[in-house]
Amino acid sequence: MTAPQSEHPLSPATWLAKKFFGGLRYISFWAIPRALFAKRNPVFKFRGELSPAEASDTGLSIRRSRAIDLYVLFWTLTSPLTFVIVSNVAVSLGWQIAIYFLATVRLIESIQSPLNTLVFDLHRGRTDSNTASSSRLLVLTLLNTLEFAVWFAVLYALNLQFLCGARRKVDALYFSVMTQFTVGFGDIHPSAGLRYLATLQVTGGFLLAVIVLARAVTTLPAMKGLLDSQKTPPE
């Protein structure tokens, strides 16, 4: 049996970040089934809450992976559907408030979920790094990144009057993608409160880019092993 890893005291900054992002876990739609079903079904627990026995249960890991994949896919499809609705239908004030709520929760979740998984779960007693695969986590983070851009496009489309140079709602999607990937041609630019919203998007997009890069690096050993196994031995 492998001896447990020794615990190192956290710096004040790391401790605060762990507490902060730990609190953000509850700003998540995943927290709803967790609150209702996690005691009876550990599939719905947060990753850092799994016991060592649950974390090493292969069957449970597969079920959790499937549930999380479906969850991410659902929201990845919901964001462009919401953008299409906002772009083609006059949305009432009540529906606008609901859309703001959905977008805010998902934007926060798109940042905190990969950060907690990649960094802070190790400081919550989760000493293993069991995941379905590194490539799967990379794909999920890429989907989070795309969804992040689309939800910001929804917010821009709802405030198109403050997006200078935008003539159609689809221009909000163009501006969101250009902003997130820091291209910024300058043909469309935000005014009033949208300037601060764009700043938040750039910051969040940078964090997601770092996470994507980190997860891409973790896939390199597996890719190297796959390539080595496919090499034809010399005759």
**Rounded mean pLDDT of 54-70?**
89
Q: Looking at the domain assignment, is residue 132 inside a domain? A: yes
Q: Looking at the domain assignment, is residue 25 inside a domain? A: yes
Q: Looking at the domain assignment, is residue 55 inside a domain? A: yes
Q: Looking at the domain assignment, is residue 33 inside a domain? A: yes
The one-letter amino acid code at 163 reads L
Tokens of residue 89, six digits: 């239908």
Q: Looking at the domain assignment, is residue 232 inside a domain? A: no
User: pLDDT per residue over 147-157, tens digit each?
Assistant: 999 999 999 99
- Kindly indicate the confidence band of residue 234, based on its pLDDT and cuts at 50, 70 and 90: low
Beta-bridged to residue 190, according to DSSP, are: 163
Task: Choose the weakest-confidence range: 35-39, 55-59, 219-223.
Answer: 219-223
Tell me: pLDDT of 30 over 90.
yes
Q: Which domain holds residue 188?
A: 12-227
Tokens of residue 51, six digits: 């016991």
Looking at the 3D structure of the chain, how many domains does it have?
1
- Kindly indicate the confidence band of residue 227, based on its pLDDT and cuts at 50, 70 and 90: low
Tell me: pLDDT of 77 over 60.
yes
The angle subtended at Cα 44 by Cα 42 and Cα 47, nearest 5°, is 80
Q: How far apart, in whole angstroms, are the C-alpha atoms of residue 15 and residue 47?
A: 18
Return the C-alpha torsion angle 75, 81, 85, 87, nearest 10: 110
User: What is the model's pLDDT at position 1?
Assistant: 43
Measured between its terminal Cα atoms, the distance across the chain in Å is: 42
Task: Choose the weakest-confidence range: 4-8, 15-19, 22-26, 177-181.
Answer: 4-8
Q: Looking at the domain assignment, is residue 235 inside a domain? A: no
**Rounded mean pLDDT of 118-129?**
63
